[in-house]
């Protein structure tokens, strides 16, 4: 028996399949198309094909992400805040803070001692503080691929502060620094500081205490340099979760199992 969690985000769609023992059997992701239902189907199909299973073996599907309501096959949908919390808690049971930086939004989630979500802050109105900010500024301007970014940031000796809070203005600032011949690694690190600071500020303004353990998820969590920057700014240990882009889908899959077991009873 399988349970499926399908996370249809604005940039990518992810699917996680788990078995009755909550073990992750498969994870797949694709770029989200304009038709969110189709994207959900596509990624689900990919995951099933990869394990050699078919849809009839799925006992319950739960969707999450911005496109969650569009996915017709889901028996239930849950908001991604809850899905992230569930997924992360399953991997790190005593987690107290989740920092998630996706392609187009970022979230800080506080988990209470009893494991419930006590507070959350989201930035989804503006690219600053999201993976998009990073992508535009470093990939496009610095000519650096995303998977090279971490090493570059770690090499920085003197990160250059990017003071602009807006992606557009930050772009101008970076161009100015480049034209002055400032080291690329310092600029990359400065961009990282800019994102991290923005997110921490967002969380603190929402009264999130950043209690430990702090887990970092989302695509940007693949970047060790950014993890280190968060640690430096918070003065606390921050751990990037493994498979950081799959957490919400995993949480949705766990919820699928829970929903199924509830019905079964």
Q: Residues interacting with other proteins, by CB under 8 A?
A: 10, 66-67, 69, 78-82, 105, 116-120, 122, 124-126, 163-166, 168-169, 172-173, 175-176, 197-198, 200-202, 204-207
CB of 48 to other proteins, least distance (A): 26
> Of 58 and 81, which CB lies nearer to other proteins in the complex structure?
81
CB of 205 to other proteins, least distance (A): 5
Label each residue of the chain as H, E or C: CEEEEEEECCCEEEEEEECCCCCEEEEEEEECCCCHHHHHHHHHHHHHHHHCCCHHHEEEEEEECCCHHHCCCCCEECCHHHHHHHHHHHHCCCCCEEEEECCCCEEEEEECCCCCEEEEEEECCCCCCCHHHHHHHHHHHHCCCHHHHHHHHHHCCCCCCCCCCCHHHHHHHHHHHHHCCCCHHHHHHHHHHHHHHHHHHHHHHCCCCCCCCEEEECHHHHCHHHHHHHHHHHCCCEEECCCCCCHHHHHHHHHHHHHHHHHHC
* CB distance 165 to 137 below 8 Å: no
> Of 161 and 224, which CB lies nearer to other proteins in the complex structure?
161
CB of 115 to other proteins, least distance (A): 8
CB of 198 to other proteins, least distance (A): 8
> Of 133 and 222, which CB lies nearer to other proteins in the complex structure?
133
> Of 120 and 250, which CB lies nearer to other proteins in the complex structure?
120
> Of 217 and 222, which CB lies nearer to other proteins in the complex structure?
217
CB of 119 to other proteins, least distance (A): 8
> Of 150 and 245, which CB lies nearer to other proteins in the complex structure?
245
CB of 246 to other proteins, least distance (A): 18
């Amino acid at each position: 028996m399988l349970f499926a969690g399908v996370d249809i985000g604005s940039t990518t769609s992810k699917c996680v399949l788990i078995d009755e023992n909550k073990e992750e059997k498969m994870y797949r992701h694709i770029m989200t198309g304009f038709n969110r239902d189709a994207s959900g189907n596509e990624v689900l199909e990919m995951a099933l094909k990869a394990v050699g299973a078919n849809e009839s073996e799925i006992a319950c599907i739960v969707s999450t992400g911005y496109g969650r309501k569009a996915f017709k096959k889901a028996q239930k949908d849950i908001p991604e805040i809850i899905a992230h919390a569930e997924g992360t808690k399953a991997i790190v049971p005593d987690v107290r803070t989740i920092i998630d930086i996706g392609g187009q939004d970022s979230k800080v989630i506080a988990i209470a001692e009893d494991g419930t979500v006590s507070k959350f802050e989201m930035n989804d109105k503006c690219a600053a503080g999201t993976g998009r900010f990073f992508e535009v500024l470093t990939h496009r301007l610095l000519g650096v691929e995303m998977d090279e970014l971490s090493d570059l940031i770690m090499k920085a000796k003197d990160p250059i502060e990017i003071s602009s809070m807006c992606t557009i203005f930050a772009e101008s600032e970076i161009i100015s620094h480049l034209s002055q011949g400032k080291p690329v690694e310092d600029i990359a690190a400065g961009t990282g500081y800019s994102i991290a600071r923005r997110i921490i500020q967002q969380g603190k303004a929402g009264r999130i205490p950043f209690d430990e353990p702090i887990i970092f998820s989302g695509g940007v969590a693949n970047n060790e340099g950014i993890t280190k920057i968060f640690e430096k700014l918070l003065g606390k240990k921050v751990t990037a979760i493994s498979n950081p882009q799959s957490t919400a889908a995993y949480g949705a899959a766990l919820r699928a199992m829970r929903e199924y077991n509830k019905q079964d009873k």
